[in-house]
Each structure stands twice: as structure tokens, then as C-alpha cells.
Amino acid sequence: MTAASRPTHDSAASDGSVLFRWGHHHPEPPQFTGIDSAYEAPLTPELVLDGARHPPQALADQVIAYLKANGYL
């Protein structure tokens, strides 16, 4: 499992699919993670991508390195 770590306000500002912004203005879908229900990070993720500390290219490099190290690529 991969966990993406990024503050909700950053995600809402850059969300191309507008789900975060939509969730703030509509009562549905219920239990929208990060909007009306708490985000619970996985206890033991295989990979953590910290979008608040690293640029997108560095995150992509982390994914590629993980995939190679684990025999997926």
C-alpha cells in the first residue's frame, strides 16, 4: 500500500478533478475522506509519498525506485 501525505488545503487547491472543492459545497457523497470524515493514514505503508516536502518529479522518482527495487519493473 502507498500512502500519499499532503495537507488537505494543498490537495484542494491543486485538485484537477475538483473532488475536494465539490465536497466542500455539496452534502454528498457522505464520508468523503478529508472533507467530512478523517483521513486515517495506513499503519504500515510500503511507500510514503510526501507531497508537502517533495516536488512531483521527486515523488515519481521514489515510485520508480520502489517498483524497481521490488521487481515490478
| Structural domain of 46 | 2-69
Mean pLDDT over all residues of the chain? Answer: 74
pTM value?
0.55
Q: Give tens-digit pLDDT for 11-40.
A: 555 555 555 565 555 555 556 666 666 777
Is the pLDDT reported for residue 70 higher than 80? yes
Is the pLDDT reported for residue 10 higher than 60? no
3-state SS, 33-71, equals: ECCCECCCCCCCCCEEEECCCCCHHHHHHHHHHHHHHCC
Q: Give tens-digit pLDDT for 50-63.
A: 988 999 999 999 99
CA–CA gap between residue 31 and residue 29 (Å, rounded):
6
Domain total for the chain? 1
